[in-house]
């Protein structure tokens, strides 16, 4: 290789006496006694200690700022004071010559490279190229590369073809805001960056391809979260013709566990088949459709028992309880728990305890004494049990209970088996819901999902024989450790069923043709039953790396405001560019 015979992670005691050439960044220079300096040289692979013993070499290193790039030719020798923390700690290199390849012109760095994760995130993102020099940061990106490679290999072995789909496409109502791209040759018209390759992969199924996948870039103009990057993200997108829900499950249950076992922070992952949990059961039992099955706590409905106990916040409300055995906490810790739950859920949490003598104490216990026997029986209470409670309408009570389970699991090692990856499928999602703003029937999730019961159930609903809200869809989510990795569905491939499904939400055949012309027309030429899913690559790697923020596993992430502070994007463009695109910037009248 040019500029080196070995990497900085390669030399060992057996190489003593060899003439070598190393290249890398000067991580540290430690001068000793004015005539000697120890230098740590770092490259992509690791570090090696150099010893500058002659005045000329010493002067070169002392004249350089940290992070300068050099090439060193020298001799390997056994190290007197060995460093067991370095894989090259048994040797050092004595340079004969030093060539400066790239000088760092700044005396001060924005942060210490090896401690960059301690720096403010905005500074890390602005100097991301320095942040990535930190081996702890770099290892996540290396893992990401290896995970993507393993996913590609596994999908190919399962008979899938990797097919890329367009980036410039038409705007489509898929739930999030589109990123729009003006079309220079078509004034007033816009391309959209795809929120997902959804329509294209379904069109591939109608084209006669049997199994498709790609590591697909997706673009959505939505706000950031800890597990969601604004702007763009990647997913393992797949679709199968002549496939059922179980066929999709079988593929991912073969592909994912080996990847998680091999690359994950925890080396245990669920084996096939993953647990199947109906949506309504997940909500009632865990308070969420993203349950963390490493936690053994569940929700119990106590509405009938406690709604009239005399405690004001329970009156006329749905009341849920989460019993926790062996939870010993101080009043201060309990108050902090309740405060944290309120911040996350937006609703208050309540509590009481059954002490070692079998008495109900603390929290709201004074309102429960008359129902003590029934409460102990309903919740199967044993001495030294803590009970967390939530109240409100059904949605609020369940949401708060779900947050309680998560927070209590984190506080109770005996109730949470942290070191594993626990997968489950959430199935039988509702096809329809009542819109919060419209107050009318709307699609709950994916409008192209096949309803359980097909055309017959939709016709019964249209005649008033079946409540539309009771209709479920062949739609499923893949959840791991409380994180939703993906949504998928068996697709509604029959135009007649599709039209009927849209009629339920007051949209007719012409509306479907107008909104989804290519897909509707393709289905009219004969489409096979097909199904698919698209697990998020970024979220997968975040779980594997044990990181709390998705930005830690993306090479060049945006900040929470969807800005690339390193490249200064988004930015202004020249008027000439706007004129070519027939775009005028209209200032807000209030600005």
* Residues 412 and 455 placed together within one structural domain of the fold: no
Q: Name the domain boundary from 102, 129, 160.
A: 102
Q: Residue 37: inside a domain, yes or no?
A: yes
In CATH, what number is assigned to the domain containing residue 63? 2.40.50.140
> Which of these, 37, 59, 63, 35, lies nearest to 49 by C-alpha position?
37
Q: Residue 590's pLDDT is what?
A: 62
Per-residue pLDDT tens digits for 22-73: 999 999 999 998 789 999 999 999 999 999 999 999 999 999 999 999 999 9
Q: Residue 162: inside a domain, yes or no?
A: no
Confidence of residue 350 (pLDDT cuts 50, 70, 90): very high
By residue range, what is the domain housing residue 58?
13-102
* Residues 378 and 437 placed together within one structural domain of the fold: no
Is residue 478 scored above 70 in pLDDT? yes
Cα 347 off chain centre by = 25
* Residues 308 and 341 placed together within one structural domain of the fold: yes
List, in sequence order, every residue forming a beta bridge with 353; answer none if it has no partner.
Answer: 361, 386
Q: Residue 255's pLDDT is what?
A: 97
> Which of these, 132, 104, 130, lies nearest to 29 by C-alpha position?
104
In CATH, what number is assigned to the domain containing residue 315? 3.30.1360.30
Q: Residue 225's pLDDT is what?
A: 73
Q: How far apart are CA 549 and CA 63, in angstroms?
A: 39
Mean pLDDT value of segment 428-439: 90
* Residues 380 and 441 placed together within one structural domain of the fold: no
> Which of these, 61, 121, 92, lies nearest to 563 by C-alpha position?
121
Q: What is the 8-class DSSP label of residue 266?
A: S
Per-residue pLDDT tens digits for 102-143: 999 999 999 999 999 999 999 999 999 999 999 999 999 999
Of the chain, the percentage scoring pLDDT greater than 70 comes to 99
Q: Residue 173's pLDDT is what?
A: 65
Q: Residue 328's pLDDT is what?
A: 82
* Residues 304 and 358 placed together within one structural domain of the fold: yes
Cα 325 off chain centre by = 31
Mean pLDDT value of segment 550-567: 94
Give the other-Cβ count within 10 Å of 467's Cβ. Answer: 10
Mean pLDDT of the chain: 94
Handedness of CA 492, 496, 499, 502 (dihedral sign): negative
Give the other-Cβ count within 10 Å of 476's Cβ. Answer: 24
Mean pLDDT value of segment 177-182: 93
Mean pLDDT value of segment 223-244: 88
Query: What is the rounded end-to-end Cα distance, in angstroms, of the chain?
Result: 57
* Residues 410 and 299 placed together within one structural domain of the fold: yes
Q: Residue 445's pLDDT is what?
A: 80
Q: Residue 537's pLDDT is what?
A: 97
Q: Residue 150: inside a domain, yes or no?
A: no
Q: How far apart are CA 156 and CA 190, in angstroms?
A: 35
Q: Residue 330's pLDDT is what?
A: 87
* Residues 412 and 434 placed together within one structural domain of the fold: no
* Residues 358 and 386 placed together within one structural domain of the fold: yes
**How far is CA 563 from each of CA 126, 221, 231, 588, rounded to the nearest angstrom?**
10, 12, 9, 21
Is residue 85 scored above 60 in pLDDT? yes
* Residues 445 and 520 placed together within one structural domain of the fold: yes
Q: Residue 373: inside a domain, yes or no?
A: yes
Q: Residue 568's pLDDT is what?
A: 94
Residues 6+ apart with CB under 8 A from 191: 168, 169, 170, 180, 181, 182, 183
Q: Name the domain boundary from 72, 102, 132.
A: 102
* Residues 20 and 51 placed together within one structural domain of the fold: yes
Q: Residue 1's pLDDT is what?
A: 64
Q: Residue 166: inside a domain, yes or no?
A: no
pTM comes to 0.91
Mean pLDDT value of segment 487-511: 92
Q: Residue 319: inside a domain, yes or no?
A: yes
* Residues 410 and 457 placed together within one structural domain of the fold: no
* Residues 444 and 500 placed together within one structural domain of the fold: yes
> Which of these, 457, 475, 474, lies nearest to 466 by C-alpha position?
457
Q: Domain count of the chain?
A: 3
Q: Residue 33's pLDDT is what?
A: 82
Is residue 291 scored above 70 in pLDDT? yes
Q: Residue 176's pLDDT is what?
A: 78
């Amino acid at each position: 290789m040019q500029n080196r015979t070995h990497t900085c992670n390669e030399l060992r005691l057996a190489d003593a006496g060899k003439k070598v050439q190393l290249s890398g960044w000067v991580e540290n220079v430690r001068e000793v006694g004015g005539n000697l300096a120890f230098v740590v040289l770092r490259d992509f692979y690791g570090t090696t200690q150099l010893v500058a013993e002659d005045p000329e070499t010493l002067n070169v290193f002392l004249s350089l700022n940290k992070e300068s790039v050099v090439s060193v030719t020298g001799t390997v020798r056994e190290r007197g004071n060995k460093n067991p923390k370095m894989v090259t700690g048994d040797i050092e290199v004595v340079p004969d010559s030093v060539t400066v390849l790239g000088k760092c012109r700044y005396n001060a760095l924005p942060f210490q490279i090896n401690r960059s994760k301690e720096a403010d995130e905005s500074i890390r993102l602005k100097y991301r190229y320095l942040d990535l020099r930190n081996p702890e940061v770099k290892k996540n990106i290396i893992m990401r590369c290896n995970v993507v490679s393993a996913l590609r290999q596994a999908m190919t072995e399962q008979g899938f073809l990797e097919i890329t789909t367009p980036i410039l496409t038409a705007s489509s109502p898929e739930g999030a805001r589109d990123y729009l791209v003006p079309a220079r040759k078509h004034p007033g018209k816009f391309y959209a960056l795809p929120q997902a390759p959804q329509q294209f992969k379904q069109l591939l199924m109608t084209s006669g391809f049997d199994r498709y996948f790609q590591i697909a870039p997706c673009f959505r103009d939505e706000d950031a979260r800890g597990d969601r990057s604004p702007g763009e993200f990647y997913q393992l997108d797949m679709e199968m013709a002549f496939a059922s829900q179980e066929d999709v499950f079988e593929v991912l249950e073969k592909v994912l566990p080996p990847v998680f076992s091999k690359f994950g922070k925890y080396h245990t992952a669920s084996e096939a088949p993953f647990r199947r949990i109906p949506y309504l059961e997940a909500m009632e039992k865990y308070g969420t459709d993203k349950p963390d099955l490493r936690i053994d706590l569940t929700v119990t409905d106590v509405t009938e028992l406690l709604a009239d106990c005399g405690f004001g916040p329970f009156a006329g409300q749905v009341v849920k309880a989460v019993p926790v055995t062996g939870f010993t906490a101080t009043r201060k810790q309990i108050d902090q728990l309740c405060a944290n739950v309120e911040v996350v859920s937006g609703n208050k949490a309540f509590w009481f305890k059954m002490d070692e003598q079998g008495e109900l104490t603390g929290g709201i216990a004074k309102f429960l004494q008359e129902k003590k026997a029934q409460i102990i029986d309903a919740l199967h209470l044993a001495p030294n049990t803590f009970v967390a409670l939530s109240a409100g309408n059904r949605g609020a009570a369940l949401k708060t209970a779900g947050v309680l389970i998560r927070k209590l699991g984190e506080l109770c090692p005996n109730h949470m088996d942290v070191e594993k990856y626990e997968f489950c499928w959430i199935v039988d999602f509702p096809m329809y819901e009542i819109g919060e703003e419209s107050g009318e029937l709307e699609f709950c999730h994916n409008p192209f999902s096949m309803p359980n019961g097909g055309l017959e159930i939709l016709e019964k609903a249209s005649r008033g024989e079946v409540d539309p809200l009771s209709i479920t869809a062949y739609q499923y989510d893949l959840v791991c450790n409380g994180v939703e990795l993906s949504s998928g569905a068996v697709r509604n491939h029959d135009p007649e069923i599709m039209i009927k499904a849209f009629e339920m939400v007051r949209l007719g055949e012409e509306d479907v043709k107008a909104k989804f012309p290519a897909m509707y027309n393709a289905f009219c030429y004969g489409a096979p039953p097909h199904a698919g899913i698209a697990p998020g690559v970024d979220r997968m790697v975040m779980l594997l790396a044990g990181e709390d923020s998705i930005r830690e596993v993306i090479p060049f992430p945006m900040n929470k405001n969807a800005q690339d502070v390193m490249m200064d994007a988004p930015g202004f463009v020249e008027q000439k560019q706007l004129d070519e695109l027939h775009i005028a910037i209209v200032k807000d009248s209030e600005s």
